[in-house]
Structure 1
Amino acid sequence: MKLVRQLSTAAPGFDAEFQRLRFWSAADDAAIEARVAEILADVRERGDAAVLDYTARFDRVTADQVAALEITQAELQAALASITPAQASALQAAAKRVRAYHERQLEACGRSWSYRDEEGSLLGQKVTPLDRVGIYVPGGKAAYPSSVLMNAIPAQVAGVGEIIMVVPTPDGVRNPLVLAAAAVAGVHRVFTIGGAQAVAALAYGTATIPRVDKITGPGNAYVASAKKHVFGQVGIDMIAGPSEILVIADGTTPPDWVAMDLFSQAEHDELAQSILLSPDAAFLDAVSASMERLVEEMPREAVIRASLAGRGALILTRSMEEACEISNAIAPEHLEISAAEPQRWEPLLRHAGAIFMGAYTSESLGDYCAGPNHVLPTAGTARFSSPLGVYDFQKRSSLIEVSAEGAQTLGRIASELAHGEGLQAHARAAELRLK
């Protein structure tokens, strides 16, 4: 049996197979939804006691009080000092690039502005950072120091007053690279809790864990469900599904490179999706052969095989233009244009979380250190959503200061419309200011 299916857009039945390939429903699992609702209600009612119970049950970490699950700033700095010089250098370099990118983002869209119209009225927008945010860092199947940088740095650049990080530490094992990343990124407080109970604690607050204004960061299906449930009590970045990569290739990139790029998402978990689109049949065969050969070298071989068998595909298209059309229908989280002239195809691509252009631009560089954020919309939501950024940690207030002259013009307009809506007090409030 082949590692990954091969399809052709010209084959009968392609549309049905393509739709089946795209379908993913784990986020709607009724059992998960019910269990998450139970955990959230318990944490909201019992606070710290419930957090302690669930942390002991799910992460096998026991403590007498939640304060014992907080990691101090001194411990974060000790973790930074404990990692290898190469790791520390890589972490600092990645943080520098991520910070530089998000500072540019702040300059472009994160400033307050105003103007006065011809009658002297001031109109504008005031941009202010959120007071306190919570960032969720996964810690179950793998450790993600990169997620610390990608969530905390734009929050810090935005000017957020306090950044609270939660990270599960199953069996009490604390990853020093994750803690070092928290030190580098300027996280204020860190609690070793995870799952739906961590989301609930951040959303509702407990005696020990302060309530936040917004929760960001990826997690498993329980975390995604919990974020969906608490939305409205707090803001959230997005409901993240399994990781995805889609590669559009013209056949000019070494097959081993493309095979490994597909593996880079497949190794995340069994539900991740990796798709290659190309009009070159021989190239698809070459990539397939590379995958068959290289998968045996992968430490996470079992996960990769399951992911590719369930949701992976190599698809022969009629043209590069058709490949772009299919990509727009999928709206992938990560989109690689692995082509000799990526700028030729980029204008045809409307929907993607991040677009990686050219053979040397592996998606993994974006995950760690290129600069743009790696928290991206999944499951087709790139049709209407954007990567995490400085703007997610700010809010905007409209500024309106009407001059005496302006009130004469605007008052008459408002009065007419208010009477039309049957709201006489609105109309009268405007009319009182007319000369």
Structure 2
Amino acid sequence: MTDSPASPAPLADPHLVYDPLAADGPKDVVILGSTGSIGTQAIDLVLRNPGRFRVTALSANGSRVALLAEQAHRLRVRTVAVAREDAAPALREALRERYGTGEPLPEILAGPDAATEVAASDCHTVLNGITGSIGLAPTLAALEAGRTLALANKESLIVGGPLVKALAKPGQIIPVDSEHAALFQALAAGIRADVRKLVVTASGGPFRGRSKAQLANVTVEDALAHPTWAMGPVITINSATLVNKGLEVIEAHLLYDIPFDRIEVVVHPQSYVHSMVEFTDGSTIAQATPPDMRGPIAIGLGWPERVPDAAPAFDWSKASTWEFFPLDNEAFPSVNLARHVGQLAGTAPAVFNAANEECVEAFRTGALAFNGIMETVTRVVEEHGTPVAGTSLTVSDVLEAETWARARARELTAKTATAEARA
């Protein structure tokens, strides 16, 4: 396999370092989604490495203002942002309680554009740990402002692929997903022309080994019982349907410019091997650690340097068994559907992601059965037809496609609920 001169460069390349603001002392970091799973673990890493990192701004949706105020006080940030304007008064009061009298409070930004504003603020690295496609605008803002982007918000790349690729400079994006951080590290072992395929691992989620029929009556509690990872509810349910793995296949294609037919998914229940790269000489390089997101976060914030003791290591003196199984595409059709929308490109991934977000919420509230998630998403994708694609794609196109997909998913979900009630 050789690269043609016209072949586009990958977005994420471990051999390239984008560092326009290199300087002595700690890296200034902005954390988006600071009260979520990625954000809280990133802050733990920063607090354990004060000589390496300094957080200048935080953003969150505003549902956990007490935690956000505590984080701001401990980190002594300049700016705190909340997406919900109605959360600003409670945040200001929580900050006053933390800071006390006579101590200046950080700047407070509130509203749907607050995270986008801090993403473009003066810093070295922006960690985008927001969940969902609302992370697209902050991703684009960070790239346009010239910041290194530690990307945990896979949805922003998936729904806005061409827009992100048009802005990102070589080496500017460092992936933070455990699978893509693993691929990133494994790719450092060779050159792009020698890559045969990427192997993305999946734990299989809580329903590994079950047939489609056996999934018909699973509950929300069942879906949230992930066997190896502790994550937020949306991503945990996405892991149960394996939609998360489908999104990761699209993300791997966009990050590393590897065709979809050379990106394989295998089930690895232990979640020790986070992904692998197979090279043309038959060698496979695997990246392995115990399940812990602080390792990938440290890669995102610290690359090209590694952060000592960022996460636990294996005790190789103890026996262990690592298993790998093929993916059951009949019980979990989400990965093949993701490949399809990824190949369609344009607005198709945005439609897939938006419809899924609506269906996951319907499942969480009891309005949709588990198998109904992918059945509904598939129908929305089919009805979408030919997507807007290519260099003509705009942010407005993405938002319009998402709005339609969400509305159509809600319509279909309501019809399903009505039909089930009548039955």
Taking structure 1 as the reference length, the TM-score comes to 0.31
Which structure has the bigger radius of gyration? 1
The TM-score normalised by the length of structure 2 is 0.32
Structure number with the bigger relative contact order (C-alpha 8 A, sep ≥ 6) is 1
